[in-house]
Structure 1
Amino acid sequence: MPDKNDPCKLLPSGPARKYCEQGPDSGSSGGSGGGGGGDGGLTDGASHHVRDLADTLIKTLKGLVAPKNSWAPKTADNWVYQQFLWLGQHLAVLVFICVVVVCALTAWQGAPRLKQLGASTGWTLAAVAGMASVPGVVMLLNTAVSEAFTTAFDSNESTLFQVIKEDLAHGADSGNPLGILIITAALVVALAFAALVFMARSLGILAFVCMAPLVLASLARGGDMTAVKMWAMRFLGLIFAPFALLLITPFVTMVKGSLVMDGLLLVAADALMLRMIFHGIPYFGPKVAGAVRGYVESQTASPLARAVVRAGSPDFYEQENLPRMPRMVNTPGRALHQDSGVLFAAYGLRPQKRSPQLTTASAIDKAQRDAPRQQKLIEARRKARADQATPNPNSATTPGRQPSQSSQPGRPAPRPGPNPARGAAPKPPRTP
């Protein structure tokens, strides 16, 4: 018969009443120190919550890096895409009309103009048909990339996220609170980078899809694929950016079993993803990455944090080959200018040329790089002037030499030859 003075009966049924009925000693009977074999150990419950938090962060990371749904329109009847589709179709028709007028004015050339007219007609129809199919193709491609990314990082036990889960449960330092804290902090930092990746990829895909009708309209000129290839290369680099994490897969098995090394590898993956944003999104990716780097460098003085952001968003230098020596110009805006120049050229327009002058920072860097060479040139010139000013005793005429031809009698003095510095010598006037 239960005791009427039992205080546990006042508690509602649940874990608290069960713990009260078992007593304070029974909870730690399975393991000394409350470290884990019992049902109600504090450390075991905390580690369980940490593992749940890590699983939640990993799922959120996967959803942000390679989401199944994107902000880009899925069908061509979307209102936002319809505006660009209308503009692209009318632009293609306008370009085709211009080609027809040119072919009519130059019809006397015969077969070449008829061939150009036929090619322009076929490519105009292909461009108009391709404009309507871009949203569906992009949706299927994004879904395929998301499924492939999820499969690649879930089916194999040697991937980074699966190794982190195993190390949290059975790792060498899984019972060390410091290791669990480090990996949790690394996951939180990776979550911030993943949010940046999600925003950049989503906005980039939306911008590239909306720009597709304008790019495809350039095919109406007769099949000029320059702008289309440039657009496709940039766009595919943006779509497949999440697979940059696969580059660190060979290093995962090397650090398997240590949560601290897993955290360091995850930070390296974050820097790699940020670098992929920098090179995969040429229009606003460099500005976003540079702004993040500038903010981090202005807010913290930690060398490690600055090294990470500088590795993820390095100083971009464009190499230009000169006849004398190659130079490096840190002007990422030139990439945007070159891409816009390709798009203008696809429509037969001549874009405004960019100023060839270097920026202030580029001029300072160039002067610092050329300083040793300039110093050597100055010293060489000084030495050459000093040698030229000093008379050479061997060059003086000796008294034993024979007289020149001008001093010999009976021979006229030779005419002075042309001076290469002043040009040909004037001819003497004729005498009657």
Structure 2
Amino acid sequence: MPDTPLDDACGRITGEAKKYCEGSSPADPGAPFGDGLTGGAADQVKELAHELTRTIKGLLAPTEMWAPAKTDSALYAPFLWLGQHMAIAIFVCVVVVCGLTAWQGSPRMRQMGASTGWTLAAVAGMASVPGIVVLLNGAISSAFTAAFDSNESTLFGAIEADLETEAGTPLAALIIISALVVSLAFAALVFMTRQPAILVFVCIAPLVLASLARGGDMDAVKRWAQRLIGIMLAPFALLLVSPFIGLVKGTVVMDTVLLVAADALMLRMIFHGIPYFGPRVARAARAVVESATPSPMARAVMRAGAPDVYEREDVPRGPRTVDTPGRSMIQDRGVLLAAYGVRQQARPGRLTADSAADQVRRGAARAEQLRQARRDSRPVRPAGPATPQDGGTQPSTALPRPARPAAPRRPQP
């Protein structure tokens, strides 16, 4: 078999292997060392970091969401049908009641006119919710990209710039990639709680808007809109770390610290932004991290992002707690039922066993100080009987106790 020339050593190889072979071929003595396998590995490390940042941005503010985009969606159409029929049924009931009480005059006529207008507005709003949410999601995605990836003064822009300048050092590249992997886990957690929440709030929109047909009670609609907009705007909680980007520009380690702080903010956003299952998901993630790693820094980040949740405590002092998922759901359900005219009994504030024990533990030092202050403020009493200074017997100054009058005798028969 004839010897293959050195220039044609890579001729029988195809694909990526041929690129590595041609890059590391000694045919070109002037080529710098590292353009082959070593240079390719460095490029792949950079590409991995860039792919991680793109994935994180796509998970935090995706351009597409799970919620339906049109009213004829198989998921949204049943809720739309139910909401429209509920609004019409409520309007018919209002008309019947106003007809039976027409003797009251103009108040009933105004009520019927208001119910007619709000019914039309509710039906129109039900059909426009999916389109509005899609447009809002696109605007939020574009704004998020502009706020965090537009130039080197933004968080991800600074990370990619530092990656280009300092990724030649293996330690710097490993630090960046490890921080991005941790941030990717938190971003996936945000995505898996934010997307189902948006889907649920979009699907229940017809049921909430149908309550307007009763007379224009906006409490339930305002609560629903606040929850939905808060969940959709939740990724912008990362803006809190933006002022520190210029201070740590060009430092890979400080970029990693900012990423850890952003992770804690994302967890906190899940905790406060999504009232129903967000705290439970955040506490589950905290339990997994605390059971898997003994790192005190990781535990501190998880405790900052997912603190302990108790019932709402009606106490005059001490730290205030947030509503538990169950209490939040009860409150929102009560607002919706009140918009339909159904009064629900308020859930009383109470202390759970864990919160009571934690409150006693927090107040132990203060209780001990109060007990010591009471002991110090009491007058000192002598142990033995008091003796007068002149040696005589001290006369008693106590007044004699009056005698109790005898009960009258009952006359004998």
TM-score by length of 1: 0.79
Pair 1:396–1:199, CA change in 2 (3 A):
same
Pair 1:11–1:179, CA change in 2 (3 A):
closer
Matched AA of 1:285: G
CA RMSD of aligned residues (A): 3.2
Instruction: Choose from 333, 357, 360 the match for 1:340.
Output: 333
Identity, % of aligned pairs?
57
Secondary structure of 1:56's counterpart equals helix
Unaligned 5+ runs, structure 2: 13-17, 387-393, 400-413
What is the CA distance between 1:19 and its match in structure 2? 3.9
In the TM superposition, what whole-angstrom CA distance separates every residue of 1:126-149 from its partner, at most 9, and x where no partner exists?
Answer: 001100110011111111111222
In the TM superposition, what whole-angstrom CA distance separates every residue of 1:175-215 from its partner, at most 9, and x where no partner exists?
Answer: 32111101001111111111122221211110000010011
Instruction: Choose from 121, 129, 153 the match for 2:148.
Output: 153
Is the Cα contact below 8 Å between 1:319 and 1:327 reproduced in 2?
no
Alignment of 1:19-418 (within 5 A): 19-22=24-27, 26-28=30-32, 34=33, 39-40=35-36, 42-171=37-166, 174-316=167-309, 320=313, 325=317, 328=320, 332=324, 333-371=326-364, 376=370, 380=374, 396=397
Distance (whole Å) between structure 2 residues aligned to residue 372 and residue 195 of structure 1:
42
Max Rg structure: 1
Is the Cα contact below 8 Å between 1:327 and 1:366 reproduced in 2?
no
Distance (whole Å) between structure 2 residues aligned to residue 350 and residue 116 of structure 1:
20
Is the Cα contact below 8 Å between 2:70 and 2:130 reproduced in 1?
yes
In the TM superposition, what whole-angstrom CA distance separates every residue of 1:4-34 from its partner, at most 9, and x where no partner exists?
Answer: 67455343175425643526x5443xxxxx4
- Number of positions where the alignment pairs a residue of Structure 1 with one of Structure 2: 383
What is the CA distance between 1:161 and its match in structure 2? 1.1
What is the CA distance between 1:394 and its match in structure 2? 11
Distance (whole Å) between structure 2 residues aligned to residue 385 and residue 334 of structure 1:
49
Distance (whole Å) between structure 2 residues aligned to residue 346 and residue 239 of structure 1:
25
2:410 maps to what in 1?
none
TM-score by length of 2: 0.83
Distance (whole Å) between structure 1 residues aligned to residue 313 and residue 101 of structure 2:
41
What is the CA distance between 1:121 and its match in structure 2? 1.2
Secondary structure of 2:204's counterpart equals helix
Unaligned 5+ runs, structure 1: 29-33, 399-432
